[in-house]
Amino acid sequence: MDQLSAMRAFVRVVEMGNFTRAAEALSLPKATVTNLIQGLEAHLHTKLLNRTTRRVMVTTDGALYYERATQIISQLDELDTSLSNSHLSPSGRLRVEMAGAFADWIVIPALHDFHARFPDIRVDLGVGDRPVDYLAENVDCALRGGVPPDQSLIARRVSEVSMVTCAAPRYLEKHGTPQHPSELEQAHHCVSYFMAQNNRAMTFDFERAGEKLEINARYVVAVNDARSYMTAALSGLGISPLPYFMATDALARGDLVRVLPEWRTEPIPLYVVYPPNRHLSNKVRVFVDWMVRLVADRKLDRPPENPIT
């Protein structure tokens, strides 16, 4: 039995309400449609339809199967359309979400290249670290740091973001330089980062020669946006593990100084995520592929130089 053909026949029978109209819509003999449905029921070992002389009624199992079957058929049709049109120039509005740091440091400076390649795609870029309802807000894809908490999303790990622990000179002049991560829980302050999903402050993970520490740092201020986190560090509000790509220029200028250089701060995994019902769109596919190449070119997983002076 061709299960896909049987699935399509079943869906059309449910939508048309009887076998005759479904057969006409499918351009198949009525007997063929009947045989496909009977074969499908035999394969599934359950009754999907109750038939009378005048109408067709969907059983409880049939209703469940119809719901899933329509999703599968829709995804297959979208895949066929996407691949058959892959040679055409994608177009339309693309809704993208990402943190401000990724937008400002990585994506926006390179968007002219994407526009040159795909001039008919309009990018609506939502910037921030807030939780997003991808379906309700019609978001096509996002670039996110950390493991996505929503398991229903398709998540493609594209890199990891190297971290470096820093402080502003004004902070170190006032409070001194820590010699061990445990001091961040006792004698020093950090700039903390809290997750918008649950308002919990992040812990800082350090490693040296196989020794691993999880630090619940004291803080004066906690923020939930990466750019504000950087600004707070530059303002001397505390010691901060920062993404190295954000801190590089400030370290070179002397606006930040590296601390605890012998301790490695755990890198942050970087994912491109998208809802499962949209991942086959041609415009989404070309943007995701472009963003993956961009992240690779930026070498976000590059370890901090050691030492930094």
25-70 pLDDT, tens per residue? 888 999 999 999 999 999 999 999 988 767 788 999 989 999 888 8
Rounded Cα distance between 62 and 70, Å, is 12
Residue 207: pLDDT band (50, 70, 90) is very high
- Average pLDDT estimate for 250-277: 90
pLDDT at 220: 86
Regarding beta strands 204-208 and 264-265, do their DSSP bridges make them parallel or antiparallel, or are they unpaired? antiparallel
* Contact assessment for residue 12 and residue 23, using Cβ atoms and an 8 Å cutoff: no
pLDDT at 254: 95
Question: Smallest Cα–Cα separation from 247: which of 160, 164, 132, 169?
Answer: 164
* Contact assessment for residue 12 and residue 26, using Cβ atoms and an 8 Å cutoff: yes
pLDDT at 308: 41
What's the angle, vertex CA 293, arms to CA 104 and CA 298, rounded to 5?
50
Residue 89: pLDDT band (50, 70, 90) is confident
Structure tokens at 102: 């990724």
* Contact assessment for residue 221 and residue 240, using Cβ atoms and an 8 Å cutoff: no
Q: Over the stretch 107-152, which tens digit does the pLDDT of each residue have?
A: 999 999 999 999 999 999 998 877 777 777 888 899 988 887 777 7
* pTM beyond cutoff 0.75: no
Half-sphere exposure of 45 (CA within 13 A, CB side): 0
pLDDT greater than 80 at residue 11: yes
Residue 307, preceding peptide bond in cis (omega within 30° of 0): yes
Phi then psi for residue 300, to 5 deg, are -65, -20
Rounded Cα distance between 236 and 239, Å, is 8
How far apart, in Å, are the Cα atoms of 89 and each of 75, 79, 147, 179? Answer: 21, 16, 32, 56
Chain centre to alpha carbon of residue 272: 4
pLDDT at 164: 94
